[in-house]
Amino acid sequence: MTPVFITGTGTDVGKTWVLARLITELRRRGHTVHARKPAQSFAPAERGHTDAELLAAASGEAPTDVCPVHRWYELPMAPPMAAASLGLPEFTIADLVAETTVTPTCLVEGAGGPRSPLAADGDNIAFARRLGAAHALLVADAGLGTINAVALCSDALTGFETIVMLNRFDPGAELHRRNREWLLDAGYRVAVTVGETADRLETRLP
């Protein structure tokens, strides 16, 4: 089992919300699941509700196990930008990989989208490849712009076995249904609920 890398088509598609509930569901099914986030940046008002804290609450770990405390950047920018703005040391993809403790059932969330900067010398894709991830979960919105966003991000994820999760999917919305059907017809692996996503990931868990 290699790590599953979680990313999103944008910064507000709800990937942390999805991941926290996915971890909760997998644990309910009897799996031991660990969450990892190599670096996080956030606004001061988010203290207590940062991504690492939300994922830790779901996985039963300490927030500093999810994301090392020296990689918490209290400024809402891409992590390497936040570090520079705060006057903190530059860090590399190799640094983040070395600090990420991978387990047999490890779900690793990036920051931003696939091509968002994650370190001074690379983006989320560079990190996921260096970490050895073979599987990816791409969280997308279900509404307008979904197909274009999924296609562009999936191109960046070439080489990963990718599941697309349409978050906030409303089966009563024609646009959402048509987006799902279009993506399925185009050959994407698509899930529209946390339970369905768990079903697809469960076959990859030990």
Distance of alpha carbon 85 from alpha carbon 70, whole angstroms:
15
- Secondary structure letter of residue 142 according to DSSP: S
Q: Is 15 a catalytic residue?
A: no
Per-residue DSSP letters for 33-61? -EEE-S-EE--GGGTTSSHHHHHHHHHTS
Task: Single out the catalytic residue among 15, 34, 36, 37.
Answer: 37
E-strand ranges in 49-185 read: 72-73, 106-109, 117-119, 122-123, 135-141, 161-167
Cβ 122 vs Cβ 96: under 8 Å = no
H or E element in which residue 93 lies: helix 93-99
Cβ 22 vs Cβ 201: under 8 Å = yes
Cβ 40 vs Cβ 111: under 8 Å = yes
- Tokens at 165, concatenated: 């999760």
Q: φ and ψ at 41, to 5 degrees?
A: -125, 150
Active site residues: 37
